[in-house]
Amino acid sequence: MEHLLKEDLINFEALLEKAKLQGLDYLQHLPKRKTSTVVQSITNANLNEEGIGGLETLAQFKEKWESQIVGASGPRYLGYVVGGTTPASIMGDWLASIYDQNPQTVSSQGDVSVQIEHATIQLMLDLFQLPNDFLGGFVSGATMSNFTCLGVARQWIGKERGLDFAKDGIQGDLNILSAVPHSSALKCLSMLGIGSKNYTLIETIKENREAIDIQDLRRKIESLNGAPFILISSAGTVNTADFDDFKAIAELKVNHNFWWHIDGAFGGFAACSPKYDHLTEGWDKADSITVDCHKWLNVPYDSAVFFVRKQHSKLQMETFQNSNAPYLGDPSENFNYLNFLPENSRRLRALPAWFSLTAYGKKGYRYIVENAVDMAQLFSNFIEETEALELLAPTRLNNVCFTLKSDASQARVYAFLDTLNKSKLVYMTPTKYQNSFGIRASFVNWRTNAADIDIITSEILKATAHI
């Protein structure tokens, strides 16, 4: 085994060159890459006793697995709000693996990786037009960002009652209000011991909207008789990219005692564009915000950030500090990310984001956002003009929610979607909106262009003819 490690180290440049060429082949043919596949059954295998070395392993991977990898980072993969990867972000991601840092502390014994993370957070705050009084950090995805933010919110409610939930556990019921919470937020309530069902549903604005009805929110607040609560609001709902009225919520926060969390996993990127930044106006008054980087930032998985107002740093540290690790020093005097987020071990996720933000700047991300919305609108226009299809909701930003016009039963919608995805040229996911079965197409990939819309619409017409 030792000789294989030494041999691979000696031939490391050649190994990386081979891996680079395989990666380039994928990227160069990505627009033509199939968007779905029938995965072959996996048979049990024993681990090789001696190993086969890096070069033979790469060859085995290519033969066994590579052809089954779908073009999820490509321009016509429209399911799950999956972004692509910009060229600069790939550079940063490869270097993050090479440097293999665990960003922790800014002390003199630490390394520069935390400074890179802090610098990247500052770039993102600037991109999102948010003030510098937010502490930010990188986690794996929107779920862990929501978990971080809501974990601090849970501690805040405890302290409002004179209790320490982080140390002593939750006591009593917690008041959580939300209108259209994402499933990841409910998952977080489960993981935090609050309970995924233990929230009060706020009514939404009528007329096919998913945004909070501010009048009903006021009624719900009055019914709490001054008790502290957590409000989970949306910057881009999962089906229709709807936004809550942040200016109205900010006004309520002046006179009412609550923690305001915004789930802006993809919709927060509306702040990048002068055309759409009105949607996020007022969100700077929130206590915490979730943003997912492997969506509209178009950096590799896995990557997201949390933003928690610095005035809550003590609560955040109480929630996540490693209190039984004396080698980390006094957490109140020596900043360490281990004391401010769930993970103790992290890769340098900030580096791909730093590369991409620095490479393309505000204009680059303005283009990425506005192009995606333009492509969504092109597709939405096609839906409106096609006799067999109809929109389930207006296309407000980058998500198009639609269904079959004559018979939108679950069986027929799923049959249509199955036929469409089997084309291997486009991929979409099913959804349910206001008790109607439908399909959701999410546009966030920087590569998607009008030629892709032509392919997508052509395949949809073929699929409608076959059901």
Structure tokens at 358: 């620095």
Is there a contact between 434 and 406 (Cβ–Cβ < 8 Å)?
A: no
**pLDDT for the residue 40:** 74
pLDDT-derived band of residue 406, with 50, 70 and 90 as boundaries? Answer: confident
pLDDT of 152 > 90? The answer is: yes
Neighbours of 161 (CB within 10 A): 13
What is the arithmetic mean of pLDDT over 400-421? 95
Q: What is the average pLDDT across 308-328?
A: 86
346-356 pLDDT tens trace: 999 999 999 99
For residue 333, with 0-12 CB atoms within 10 Å meaning exposed, 13-18 middle and 19 or more buried, which class applies?
exposed
d(CA 101, CA 115): 12
Higher pLDDT, 275 or 110: 275
The conformation of residue 33, written as its DSSP 8-state character, comes to S
- Which tokens go with 409? 């039963």
Domains of the chain by range and CATH?
90-356 (3.40.640.10)
- Side-by-side strand order, sheet with 436-442: 389-391, 399-404, 436-442, 429-433
Q: How confident is the model at residue 227 (pLDDT cuts 50, 70, 90)?
A: very high
- Contacting residues for 195 by C-beta, under 8 A, at least 6 apart: 189
Q: How does DSSP classify residue 236?
A: S
- pLDDT of residue 371 exceeding 90, the answer is yes
State the chain's mean pLDDT as an integer.
94
- Whether 293 has a pLDDT exceeding 90, the answer reads yes
User: Do 376 and 402 form a contact (C-beta atoms < 8 A)?
Assistant: no
The confidence score (pLDDT) of residue 208 equals: 86
Enumerate helices (H) and strands (E) in the chain, giving the number of each.
Answer: 14, 11
Report the chain's C-alpha Rg in angstroms: 24
Least confident of 44-53, 250-259, 350-359, 443-452: 44-53
* 38-42, 61-65, 435-439, 448-452: the lowest-pLDDT one: 38-42
pLDDT top residue among 234 and 106: 234
Angle at 141 between CA 137 and CA 143, to 5 degrees: 105
pLDDT at 43: 72
At residue 325, the pLDDT reads 66
